[in-house]
Structure 1
Amino acid sequence: MSGGQVIGLGCRLNIAESESIAALTGDRGDRVVINSCAVTAEAVRQTRRTIRRARRAHPAACLFVTGCAAETERAALAAMPEVDEIVPNGRKLLPASYGLGSETIRRGAVPARTRAFVAVQNGCDHACTFCIIPRGRGPSRSAAVDVVLREIESQLDRGAAEIVLTGVDATAWGADLPGQPRLGSLVAAILSRFPHLARLRLSSLDGAEIDPLLFELIAGERRVMPHLHLSLQHGHDLILKRMKRRHNRAQAAALVAALRAQRPGLAVGADLIAGFPTETAAHHHANISLVRELGIVHGHVFPFSPRQGTPAARMPQVEGETIRGRAGELRAAIAAERLAWQRRLIGTPLQVLAERDGRGYSESYARVATPGLVAGTIATIAPSALEDDLLI
């Protein structure tokens, strides 16, 4: 996402934060902010490329770098001649970090969107062996219910038709709050407070942390979108154990089956890693078979890259060419599931939220052409064809 002189890389939480930074800095040409990502070594390389491009495009601007890579790669990024200042991740939403004063950000100034991303949680308390994000984001912190409700109210007042809840580990929401509420209670509070809210979508979830109320709302509440994106990471139990994940394959499959039994139209997405250290061909085939078993139609495939300081970086590594080949096979398996799913949607009436580019998203996150529809409109569309991943 790029808004004004702010360039956001990486996850949906970064998108939400980048919009807030853009509202803070406005369209000032004298400041450029790179909100970086560090989830993989490739993400760090992309951050460095983005910094160089931004400097070439804005040679006289003050260039700030914030985000996860600003924490995990601070010395290396600070040494780049293109960079003027590193902003700690925890201070990225403070005007003073960009020389603009000391007051807190006015979040209501964020430009209106048809779908608004609302951060409910930040940081992570887990210790997955491959992940460097806790170093970049710190421990898990939850936004208080009233803070979340105020932010959603602001977005709805400004025309958002869909709210997307985001977080580094969104299902950990509430663990650090009084009484340790669960994410299901926050979702219920949002639905109760805003009966006119048409669509509430949940970003990536950890299936091991889905509480009973949240399960009930995903399964049966029509305003919660039938789109479940899970942080699965792998389809073989031994690799999951070496990753230090908190679920096994059978538990993930049982969760999806139980939800689909109550909500048959549920579309499933997942994060998957290809070529984790010690992964054999049999482990890889288990990854592919999980895609087919769960019918994963929205996939994020990450070729494993070792991050210095993580336990996985010290494990026996898979050869790079093999990793790239396995990532390609995983993407092909997801593409096949997605194509079959999209074809089943042809002729089916879909509730589609139109966006500004002449396209929109159905409730299950299918991409649909919306010619002639005003952005922010929710309309019933029965697609008649599929062209280049777009229902027509």
Structure 2
Amino acid sequence: MPVSAPEVITLGCRLNIAESETIRTLIAGRDTVVVNSCAVTNAAVKATRVAIRRARRDRPLSQIVVTGCAAQIDPASFAAMPEVDRVVGNADKLLSSAWEAYDAVVVSDIMAVRETTPHLAASFSQHARAFVEVQNGCDHRCTFCAIPFGRGPSRSVPAGAVVDRIAGLVDAGHREIVLTGVDLTSYGHDLPGTPTLGLLVERILCGVPALQRLRLSSLDSIEIDDRLFDLFTGEPRIMPHLHLSFQAGSDLILKRMKRRHTRVQAVAIVERLKAKRPEIAIGADLIAGFPTEDDAMAADTIALIADADIVHAHIFPYSERAGTPAARMPQVAHALRKARAERLREAAAARKAAWLASLVSTTQDVVIEHPGDHGHAPNFAHVNIPPAARPEPVEGRVPHATLEPGQIAPVRITAATATHLIGTRA
């Protein structure tokens, strides 16, 4: 009987996407389904369980393995699920030995991990962009967050290894690279000489001249130093798109979250960035209904969407995570959290729709994604290129080549919806 192809189901962050490609390499040739889980909210953990049950229904004879943050934090609960054959922790999932073992639970002490290494995947077959982990773990303790217990202490990949990894991915045909990490702006504090993220980016751009586009995942705004600021605003190969971990627009809530920035600082960094490079698009994480939040505090977060020109908003109702300080604070009613999150989404959607409309008649260089009819612009706007909008061949003119996933194509934007752009190849 032929062996079913291995499958990796990825939930959560871009770092998980990067790690899933290595897992795909490690389980090649096995009749295995791996669920790479997320634990950022209770909803994410619930989604992991749903994915596990669906995987068992779809692949009744395959081995089902659960890994990722949810598995690391609470391995026993996943091992107890009848659909699960094995649980593998975050510190183990990139090791071939973990996938060759037969133990039902392979979960090491994540807090004892002190280094991270480049992944084994030679390319990202499922993605037009390639994701490269340069940092893992977090030494901060925001009061709402359980992720440090799933990822362990902050640790960085040496710059030379990062440059080699990116050079290999570019040689394999990837035109856009995304740097990922749990606390990306803490990069380098554990390495000799304590290099910064800005220094790493400089080495990448210098060491891989063939790299066309470099994008960075979520950043802590308070740690954007002058070198990183100058790179974002002056280097055309760095995409004009920043996702910032703001979380709230109220100073009191930020203090209770144990964030390290104020509202004024959040708005100021965006104003400085856009003054130097106006096309920069700002994304942000925002939490609705954090413990003790009142109507005025919630209004401050809604106002932040306009004040910081947030066009890519990730909005979550607060989710109490067991063992975190925020879970012991006076809680906002669940219905009110949900209502405030909906109001935040409405404000964010209106801001995004207006921004997208402003891009009509521009030309955007789009990284084409599978199956070839859509992709993302440098500012991370989603662009659809419907077949009907593609120019027909004209006698005497060389026809446009078929759009292939992974290529970068200039697209003239002809229309905008509330969620995406529509265009035709320029």
The TM-score with structure 1 as length reference comes to: 0.96
Separation (CA, whole Å) in 2 of partners of 1:110 and 1:355: 12
Query: C-alpha offsets along residues 266-324 of structure 1, whole Å, 9 cap, x if unaligned?
Result: 10000000000000000000000000111111011111011110000000000000000
Match of 1:352 among 343, 347, 366: 366
Match of 2:188 among 143, 164, 174: 174
- The answer (yes or no) to whether the contact 2:198–2:228 under 8 Å persists in 1 is yes
Mapping for residues 274-353 of structure 1, pairs under 5 Å: 274-353=288-367
Query: C-alpha offsets along residues 118-162 of structure 1, whole Å, 9 cap, x if unaligned?
Result: 011000000100000000000001011111112111211111010
CA drift at 1:84: 1.2
Which contiguous aligned blocks of 4+ residues in structure 1 show a shift greater than 4 angstroms? none
Residue in structure 2 matched with residue 93 of structure 1 by the alignment? 94
2:376 alignment partner AA = Y
Match of 1:188 among 179, 182, 202: 202
Match of 2:405 among 375, 378, 387: 375
Max radius of gyration: which structure? 2
1:122 equivalent to 2:152? Answer: no
Identity score, percent: 54
Q: Secondary structure at the match of 1:382?
A: strand
Q: Secondary structure at the match of 1:91?
A: coil
Q: Cα–Cα, structure 1 residues 350 and 38, in superposed 2: closer, same or farther, change >3 Å?
A: same
The TM-score with structure 2 as length reference comes to: 0.88
Query: C-alpha offsets along residues 337-387 of structure 1, whole Å, 9 cap, x if unaligned?
Result: 100000000001212111123101111011112354222222222211124
- The answer (yes or no) to whether the contact 2:310–2:351 under 8 Å persists in 1 is yes
Separation (CA, whole Å) in 2 of partners of 1:93 and 1:82: 23
Q: Cα–Cα, structure 1 residues 305 and 106, in superposed 2: closer, same or farther, change >3 Å?
A: closer
Separation (CA, whole Å) in 2 of partners of 1:109 and 1:196: 16
Residue in structure 2 matched with residue 361 of structure 1 by the alignment? 376
Q: Secondary structure at the match of 1:17?
A: helix
Residue in structure 1 matched with residue 253 of structure 2 by the alignment? 239
Q: Cα–Cα, structure 1 residues 169 and 312, in superposed 2: closer, same or farther, change >3 Å?
A: same
Q: Secondary structure at the match of 2:414?
A: coil
- The answer (yes or no) to whether the contact 1:67–1:88 under 8 Å persists in 2 is yes
1:6 equivalent to 2:21? Answer: no
Q: Secondary structure at the match of 2:236?
A: coil
Aligned residues: CA RMSD: 1.6
1:49 equivalent to 2:50? Answer: yes
Mapping for residues 57-206 of structure 1, pairs under 5 Å: 57-99=58-100, 106-108=120-122, 110-111=124-125, 113-206=127-220
CA drift at 1:388: 5.8
- The answer (yes or no) to whether the contact 2:156–2:188 under 8 Å persists in 1 is yes
Q: Secondary structure at the match of 2:413?
A: coil
Separation (CA, whole Å) in 2 of partners of 1:105 and 1:196: 21
Q: Cα–Cα, structure 1 residues 133 and 214, in superposed 2: closer, same or farther, change >3 Å?
A: same
Separation (CA, whole Å) in 1 of partners of 2:384 and 2:345: 24
Match of 2:415 among 380, 385, 389: 385
- The answer (yes or no) to whether the contact 2:124–2:130 under 8 Å persists in 1 is no
- The answer (yes or no) to whether the contact 1:112–1:159 under 8 Å persists in 2 is no
Question: Structure 2: 5+ residue runs without aligned partners?
Answer: 103-117, 388-401
Separation (CA, whole Å) in 2 of partners of 1:351 and 1:88: 39
Residue in structure 1 matched with residue 275 of structure 2 by the alignment? 261
CA drift at 1:106: 3.4
- The answer (yes or no) to whether the contact 1:113–1:159 under 8 Å persists in 2 is no
- The answer (yes or no) to whether the contact 2:357–2:417 under 8 Å persists in 1 is no
**Which deviates more from structure 2 when the two are superposed, residues 240-249 or residues 346-355?**
346-355
Q: Cα–Cα, structure 1 residues 351 and 236, in superposed 2: closer, same or farther, change >3 Å?
A: same
**Which deviates more from structure 2 when the two are superposed, residues 13-22 or residues 312-321?**
13-22
**Which deviates more from structure 2 when the two are superposed, residues 226-235 or residues 351-360?**
351-360
Question: Structure 1: 5+ residue runs without aligned partners?
Answer: none
Separation (CA, whole Å) in 2 of partners of 1:359 and 1:335: 21
- The answer (yes or no) to whether the contact 1:20–1:110 under 8 Å persists in 2 is no
Query: C-alpha offsets along residues 236-292 of structure 1, whole Å, 9 cap, x if unaligned?
Result: 000000000000000011100001010001100000000000000000000000001
2:70 alignment partner AA = A
How many pairs align? 387
2:265 alignment partner AA = Q
**Which deviates more from structure 2 when the two are superposed, residues 336-345 or residues 105-114?**
105-114
Q: Secondary structure at the match of 2:12?
A: coil
